[in-house]
A and B are shown apart, each in its own frame.
Chain A
């Protein structure tokens, strides 16, 4: 079976971003970019399903700028077979991305779409669910375990109260949570091989979708800074401060 893995290029998770002085957004100039961590987990899961013999082909896709080819190559170095870039300079938003992915789902007919539960830039946590709705597919969000058998996928989900397991008919959408797997590192030979794997570029117009943002960002500000307080010398002093100064216990 075929798996489609949509990924996103984001600011590396180790970077502490700064808001631009004109409040138009965060400063991305000369900032290290990387594949969104949840997307790495999605690629890894697809690769593991292929290693288990469940999956025969992994197609990785992103909707973004030309520079996102880098992340597509990374995904292919990790084990994806081919890549599709839906090229746009537009500031992408989940609904538009989901529509582009829907068009690709219609073209590629994957049995499973695995994607990260959220991107760590906009923290939206929407795209997978939106794609599922637009295509009428069931969804297993926040997955910590995925098992494919007998034309169905069973997904264990991390929910607020603990864990929930659902069974979905295929094709289905799965979004990954942190503990689904631990992504591997790409080996040098695989990085070299990935350079020769096919990478197609299409435009949103080719897919007949409009990526115009629905939600307008008026301004972006730094959060209220929290000042470091004091160091206490002993547990006794701590208890005293909490009782008599902060009055919280």
Chain B
């Protein structure tokens, strides 16, 4: 039995979440092969070869895969993956985009966002925004799975010595074209990888007020997130959204500022180790999950917090 892990990267470096996916692959068992598909991404393959527990790296380096277009990537993964027992990808917008296509091409069901491995064919996954945890079993010969990074402790990026093999499978469906990308640039850690996350909600009132959170975040080495309400109101861009349909985070410390705590938001952060809530509404549901709650006006509490750190 062997597992194919699809590497998440930006053509220059391997994304940390791949280490969590490899951890899920280890829990399933069997040889682990990592597929690196992209353009000019040989360095990523070398990095993947060093990951603990990886026995082989396949490198598909072609312009067709440069922007991770689902049509091309899915065709590639379906062809390469048909000889494997499991195909795993991260439950990121890249993995979620192409993995269901792979499953359909292979005529197998798919299991989304697993948070636990029970056995080689049985997995745990959250449903209903995490208000229930389902244990599901796949009867298909190939299991196509996306992995929720926060469910698995990352394996070490070092210690492996896998071989890198180039494959010349070129799949260009020719029906889609990359046009442009607007990526947020930030010196702060990535939301899903940060040890500390500070998020703002509707209570922040506008985008300028997020500056207060950025200042605290920079003192703590934290990432800054937001609730859906804050994103919908246009305070901050979509890539900062934490919740059922945004990013799922589980840092050591999560500080929710001016966030009421709708179940859709809780779904994205309630596995954090320590949760702090700052809200002036003492009845806000966020306090029901917070380890430390401070009932206060955030416009006084956050600057004070900043000065005390």
Contact = CB atoms under 8 A, between A and B. Distances in A.
B175 A246 contact: no
A154 interface: yes
A241 interface: yes
Interface string B41-57: 00000000000000000
Contact of A232 (B137, B294, B308): B294
Contacts of B245: 117-118, 177-178
Contacts of B275: 226, 229
A123 B127 contact: yes
B301 interface: yes
The size class of the interface chain B forms with chain A is 35 or more
B2 interface: no
Contacts of B173: 136, 138
B238 A219 contact: no
Contacts of A148: none
B134 A220 contact: yes
B27 interface: no
Given A223-B132, A238-B292, A160 B276 contact: no
A13 B109 CA distance: 26
Contacts of A94: 100, 109-110
Contact of B128 (A123, A130, A134, A246): A123
Contacts of B295: 231
A241 B255 CA distance: 13
Contact of A162 (B109, B239, B291, B304): B239
Interface residues of A, number: 79
Contacts, number: 256
Given A123-B127, A129-B97, A161 B239 contact: yes
A67 interface: no
B199 to A, nearest CB: 15
Contacts of B289: 226, 228
A165 B112 contact: no
Interface string B177-201: 1111111100000001000100000
A110 B105 CA distance: 21
A178 B291 contact: no
Contact of B287 (A122, A228, A238): A228
A159 interface: yes
11 contacts: A93-B109, A129-B70, A139-B71, A159-B94, A169-B176, A218-B122, A221-B132, A222-B131, A228-B290, A235-B305, A238-B305
Interface of A: 11, 13, 16-17, 19, 26, 93-95, 98, 117-118, 120-134, 136-139, 141-142, 144, 154, 157-169, 172, 177-179, 213-223, 226, 228-232, 234-236, 238-239, 241-242, 246, 248-249
